Structure 1
């Protein structure tokens, strides 16, 4: 038996060799007390009252719960493409969303709040005072809809609550519209909740399921019914609210790194893995494409040109979303988030490397080929043993620059939930309630990685020049 329209529920053998289902939850764990990261017994865990509900749903199904953490506006594509089985992330069942997915019964209702800097508490104390103000909201949320209805309001829509609060703290917005319990969870000495109350249709919160999946939806509704009846939902809310850390003591950047070093080390491993594999595959594909680009056969040359122009002319984020979600929706090809990240970095890098190789190959004196042919080499032998080594040596600095670029651009894969360095920095921001230190640590680590790589490439270049002299 499966619960997902794309048969996403996996089966694993437990110790008694009986089949055990795995149901996949999609969430954006930066929304305390609904879902958030917290270190418990030395281990990072995703907790919150939404997570408690999800665990109960899985338990009632006799299934194991797997949690996929990603950005909020990646949740709907993840569900419709079959990468997750259901969504719980403080999500309102708005009419617009109901066009794409089905929703369970409402399991919780909460008020909306206006958060401001403490000094502005009396300045923005009614909804009328927010007219024409700069307001921060979460992208693709009910709060964004509320902000759009405020006359003259200038909205800044961002993915993360922590980013919205950073905008507020640095005077880039005047106020932020935030879910009431979330505002309370993030309340610090810098902020205040005003007496202004947004007027909005109360959609409540519900669980998202892919359309035409009544079996899973009915099972979820059955669990919600007994949780609500037994008063468990409010119990989960109170328990999760008590787990929120709130404001923490300010630390210097180095001490901050030592405290959260395990997160950054895990992120470094993924970043290096993505970058190394991206360059290796990009190198191979790029060399092949450069040969197509220079081929005498018109159709092959056109294919090479089209490949390069399309990949260089479209944003990497678009390429990532097409590979991760588009292929799943259209062809039912479901790459993991890590696989999608590696593929995207590889093909994007290959387009630039192809032009680098072409420049290097064309930069080798034509007399080299003629000399090799005169010695009895075939064209392919001459290219492989004479032309290509010289071309790669000539463009090694450009290849090194592309490697450095990939290390920095690999951060884009955090958008789909790959736990690279940038993803871990965002997790630390959620755990620590610190706005700047997690980013400063990430910036220093990126600099160290790229600086060390540039020095190693410099050493390699000097050795190659020395070998040419001798």
Structure 2
């Protein structure tokens, strides 16, 4: 399931590497006594995020939140059987395959189907769950009483992007109007709840979890009928992925799975559905749902907002320093009397800076994040700390934009000021530091503020590498509760509040930099005669001592 996005991301990653270079893990995974498991923590009942350790939840690495669900239960069982400590890493779905390939994590337990396409990139254990395909519709839908696939004819249907549900099952519905795929299971369910679609197709654990959140949904299960969706075994077999060639870990996990039966899997899944955050249902009414989310996840939202602001402020400051250096280098004058060495050095430096600026301005930050975070492991075997990677990604991206802003700010200063500085004997460095840069920085201050506000919003792409910023919290909350729209409203309000506060602070800083609105040029002290001088709207006459 969800295979297309992961495959595209993996191909992009390999395209950036010489010859599809792969990096093998050093040493044995079983030797370090820690089993690092990646999952979305946003895909109930398989895995979800919650604010406390209730019901046996496990702390999420580099986060104040906890993970729980069927996948967490299975990870705990495997780690305990192998005598290892368990470490849960929260990653976006599209990052799971690259994380395993690069050795950033030991394995992925996240409801992945064992497909032939994925087997080209990673190895899989034996299935740890068998997920049959079902449909969901509303109680007031004309399809609520359907007894087979043929009775869904003419439905307006959708499902999740990159899954067998969308790619293989929806086309089997006669005369169906197939809408564009949804980016996640919660988004798919929201399409059904809002009436954009009157049918969605999913697997039975996701459907059972959805029934807890949406009391007006009806489950359509045709698995005991011949009039059912036709799928292969690989479409319903859910496995644990490990790095290609890591037979030691694969065999160890299979040894644990071999002690369990399909009934054991189903019993564990039923337990996960029973303890998911909305096992008693979502409160009725929009404002009641807002209150429920704030009461149960308010602290998580605030922590996510705090991380967002810290990253945005630090990276904007670092980006300004990078941009300042780049802008100065690009505006250093080259004169005829300069030596060939200076000309060659400046030419080479400017060429490198131009490539840097064009690459980081011309590509999405989300892909930069993937290539830097996972590419470092592929190319050099460096498993970058998530926070270090986040600061590097946003700072370098901001620096590329600020480089052009600083260059423009310097060029906006009249050339006469530079010529005047030379006339009184100032060096280029003195001219830049004492005359040009103070004015240029004031001129680009609005752009610096604009970049800060952009970074507050653009840090949301860091969810792809597991940073627990504000948008990542939203995905976790939605994955646990399916309260898609209420959580989005809370997120928008927090983002708007942060940007409004930053805008007000930046306007105050600009005003302070401008100084007073009017000035007395000199004191009147009886020196040379001067023409009348107007101050604060009132004429003044007298002598000005110059």
Cα distance in structure 2, aligned partners of 1:175 and 1:8: 49
User: Do residues 221 (structure 1) and 254 (structure 2) align?
Assistant: yes
Is 1:109–1:205's contact at 8 Å kept on the other side of the alignment?
Answer: yes
Q: CA deviation at 1:123?
A: 6.5
User: Do residues 28 (structure 1) and 40 (structure 2) align?
Assistant: yes
Is 2:100–2:107's contact at 8 Å kept on the other side of the alignment?
Answer: yes
Cα distance in structure 1, aligned partners of 2:216 and 2:417: 69
Cα distance in structure 2, aligned partners of 1:326 and 1:133: 44
Cα distance in structure 2, aligned partners of 1:459 and 1:330: 46
Deviates most, 433-442 or 209-218: 433-442
Cα distance in structure 1, aligned partners of 2:221 and 2:83: 45
1:144 is aligned to: 166
Deviates most, 247-256 or 435-444: 247-256
User: Do residues 249 (structure 1) and 249 (structure 2) align?
Assistant: no
Say which SS state the counterpart of residue 459 (structure 1) adopts: helix
User: Do residues 82 (structure 1) and 100 (structure 2) align?
Assistant: no
Is 1:130–1:153's contact at 8 Å kept on the other side of the alignment?
Answer: no
Cα distance in structure 2, aligned partners of 1:294 and 1:110: 62
2:17 is aligned to: none
1:174 is aligned to: 198
Correspondences of 1:221-370 after superposition (within 5 Å): 221-228=254-261, 232-244=264-276, 245-246=278-279, 247-250=281-284, 251=288, 253=290, 256-295=293-332, 296=334, 297-370=346-419
* CA deviation map 1:172-214 (0-9, x unaligned): 3332211102101111223212245422112211111111111
2:531 is aligned to: none
TM-score normalized by the length of structure 1: 0.90
Q: CA deviation at 1:344?
A: 1.9
Q: 1:136 to 1:30 in 2, by over 3 A?
A: farther
Is 2:133–2:202's contact at 8 Å kept on the other side of the alignment?
Answer: yes
Q: 1:124 to 1:154 in 2, by over 3 A?
A: farther
Q: CA deviation at 1:130?
A: 5.1
2:188 is aligned to: 164
1:200 is aligned to: 231
Cα distance in structure 2, aligned partners of 1:162 and 1:400: 35
1:49 is aligned to: 70
Deviates most, 173-182 or 119-128: 119-128
Deviates most, 39-48 or 62-71: 39-48
Q: 1:109 to 1:57 in 2, by over 3 A?
A: same
1:14 is aligned to: none
Matched positions, count: 459
Correspondences of 1:81-100 after superposition (within 5 Å): 81-100=102-121
Q: CA deviation at 1:464?
A: 1.5
Is 2:51–2:296's contact at 8 Å kept on the other side of the alignment?
Answer: no
Q: CA deviation at 1:103?
A: 0.8
Which structure has the larger Rg? 2
Question: Which of 98, 119, 123 lines up with 2:140 in the alignment?
Answer: 119
* CA deviation map 1:14-48 (0-9, x unaligned): xxxxx962121011222222222245467843112
Question: Which of 412, 416, 429 lines up with 2:461 in the alignment?
Answer: 412
Say which SS state the counterpart of residue 24 (structure 1) adopts: strand
* CA deviation map 1:440-460 (0-9, x unaligned): 111111111110111111111
Q: CA deviation at 1:377?
A: 2.4
Is 2:134–2:220's contact at 8 Å kept on the other side of the alignment?
Answer: yes
Say which SS state the counterpart of residue 157 (structure 1) adopts: coil
Cα distance in structure 1, aligned partners of 2:500 and 2:289: 23
Alpha-carbon RMSD across the aligned residues, in angstroms, is 2.6
Say which SS state the counterpart of residue 81 (structure 2) adopts: helix
Cα distance in structure 1, aligned partners of 2:291 and 2:125: 46
- Gaps in structure 2 of 5+ consecutive residues: 1-22, 58-64, 223-227, 335-345, 520-546
* CA deviation map 1:368-412 (0-9, x unaligned): 223333343211121122211110011101110111111011111
Q: 1:148 to 1:342 in 2, by over 3 A?
A: farther
1:191 is aligned to: 217
TM-score normalized by the length of structure 2: 0.78
Deviates most, 81-90 or 366-375: 366-375
Q: 1:86 to 1:255 in 2, by over 3 A?
A: closer
Q: CA deviation at 1:468?
A: 7.9
Is 1:131–1:153's contact at 8 Å kept on the other side of the alignment?
Answer: no
Q: CA deviation at 1:98?
A: 0.8
- Gaps in structure 1 of 5+ consecutive residues: 12-18
Is 1:312–1:348's contact at 8 Å kept on the other side of the alignment?
Answer: yes
